[in-house]
Structure 1
């Protein structure tokens, strides 16, 4: 059972495992994610494979993931900080939880699976907690009204079906309902499909995301979903012209989404917290190696 290096991150509660990218095929990455994600092993909602030197992230199913992209920015800042500073921060935390050093801001450009253009990441904060904003160049993202209160949003690398929870209640058997939905809409060949139930109460948007990743063969009711928040903001923006959104996630944090332009280029930004949970080595069954 070879040991695998890993780190575990919480971008707004959407627990994400990172493993080294080098030397693993797409099929091996998907199999490793299936073994590592269950609670009896590392536990997590999704897994990605990173090459910090080349600033590349590939999700286990080749899908696009905003929150993992944001976590990757925190990982890059973590690496840049240097072992000495991290050790000093750990010693300070042990003696004084409020003493964590001086906040810095980092800027990165990264490439991530599922999205054609590079992402800009802006990282602020102090180890082990940051805020990371992902800035994306927005391609044409088709929206399709499927029924009243039900909209399909096609983002690169993931498709989301949005349900207005005032008209469409959350199903009792969500996994079966989501599988039937994918089949009925012809989405089984998509790299990833999300079903997002949303509502607005007293001016606060909130959402409940369920995400299926085809190659990793995972279906997860997520604590946060960055691409789902982006899809919801895109849909609401086109419907009503609003450009800034604060969307409460099931885990209790908010993701701030803004739509804007730089010159003639349409951009979107997704901002929220990211925390380092754990890092080290894990032993998994031999067939994961």
Structure 2
């Protein structure tokens, strides 16, 4: 099988978009092969689909490999559509407004994109609001670790202090077992060092059974911003360093709740071509 693809770098959360229309029943197998080191190689795969209806304001729909929501994928796809001058994009001075349908949420995800350099863009996505937030305790090697669980549509993130957790994938197995009855498409553990504002994202996608140390995680960054906004009871604007670079997260806090969340960072379009599956 030959598939047309574009490979994009949003904060080194390397993402491949499959441009051809294929049955969803094939997504898991194709994504697994594309992500492999012997193929195109990436951390995640999204599949472009037709919009839900002719009345939809969205340019296109992207369905992630596990049906999860991904902020970085939304930002990256918006940059591609600006590069390709999609007909539904609106221009406001130096910014392009790109509406998208994204798996894991029924909301239209609006992105703002600005040119940064050749094939490089600054892309900001308005993220869907979280469904819930709660503090939890996890026992690991005779020590109780405090964390905060943030649930989005389709993906759940645990924010936890990275100090004292020396074998992080073993820690993940404890979390996976603890959340065995929790309904999710993807589960992320965001190991955060507050002193350095540095986060290491470990993300598990249930459908593909993939566990990946991501170089940058958009929804995990949003979850971290939500935790701090709730902790401080105010709007926040923070830069979160990650292995692949940095992402900026904004929240708007009003009437004792978060009303909006924005994720911002650089997107580089790095390759396009044909993948042989």
Q: Which residue of 1 aligns with 2:80?
A: 75
In structure 2, what is the Cα distance between the partners aligned to 1:16 and 1:219?
15
Q: Which residue of 2 aligns with 1:96?
A: none
Q: 1:213 to 1:182 in 2, by over 3 A?
A: same
In structure 1, what is the Cα distance between the partners aligned to 2:79 and 2:22?
23
In structure 1, what is the Cα distance between the partners aligned to 2:183 and 2:128?
25
In structure 2, what is the Cα distance between the partners aligned to 1:81 and 1:127?
18
SS at match of 1:61: coil
1:266 maps to which of 252, 259, 262: 259
- Asked if structure 2 preserves the Cα contact closer than 8 Å seen for 1:170 and 1:197, the reply is no
Q: Which residue of 2 aligns with 1:194?
A: 188
- Asked if structure 1 preserves the Cα contact closer than 8 Å seen for 2:165 and 2:171, the reply is no
Deviation at 1:156, TM superposition (A): 1.3
Q: Which residue of 1 aligns with 2:146?
A: 149
Deviation at 1:106, TM superposition (A): 1.1
In structure 2, what is the Cα distance between the partners aligned to 1:68 and 1:51?
14
Q: Which residue of 1 aligns with 2:165?
A: 169
Deviation at 1:118, TM superposition (A): 1.1
TM-score in terms of structure 2 length? 0.85
Deviation sequence 1:179-233 (CA, Å, 0-9, x none): 33211222575200001100122xx411000000011221100000011111111
Q: Which residue of 2 aligns with 1:97?
A: none
Deviation at 1:270, TM superposition (A): 0.3
Deviation at 1:16, TM superposition (A): 0.2
Higher helix share: 1
In structure 1, what is the Cα distance between the partners aligned to 2:190 and 2:160?
6
After TM superposition, the structure 1 stretch with the greater mean CA deviation from structure 2, 16-25 or 34-43, is 16-25
The answer to whether structure 1 residue 35 and structure 2 residue 33 are counterparts is: yes
In structure 1, what is the Cα distance between the partners aligned to 2:186 and 2:166?
20
Q: Which residue of 2 aligns with 1:49?
A: 47
In structure 1, what is the Cα distance between the partners aligned to 2:229 and 2:122?
24
In structure 2, what is the Cα distance between the partners aligned to 1:140 and 1:217?
24
2:156 maps to which of 133, 156, 159: 159
Deviation sequence 1:2-23 (CA, Å, 0-9, x none): 2110010000100000002623
Alignment of 1:48-127 (within 5 A): 48-51=46-49, 54-80=59-85, 104-125=94-115, 126-127=117-118
Higher strand share: 2
TM-score in terms of structure 1 length? 0.81
Aligned pairs, how many? 256
Q: Which residue of 1 aligns with 2:248?
A: 256
Structure 1 runs of 4+ off > 4 angstroms?
A: 261-265
In structure 2, what is the Cα distance between the partners aligned to 1:41 and 1:15?
13
- Asked if structure 1 preserves the Cα contact closer than 8 Å seen for 2:131 and 2:151, the reply is no
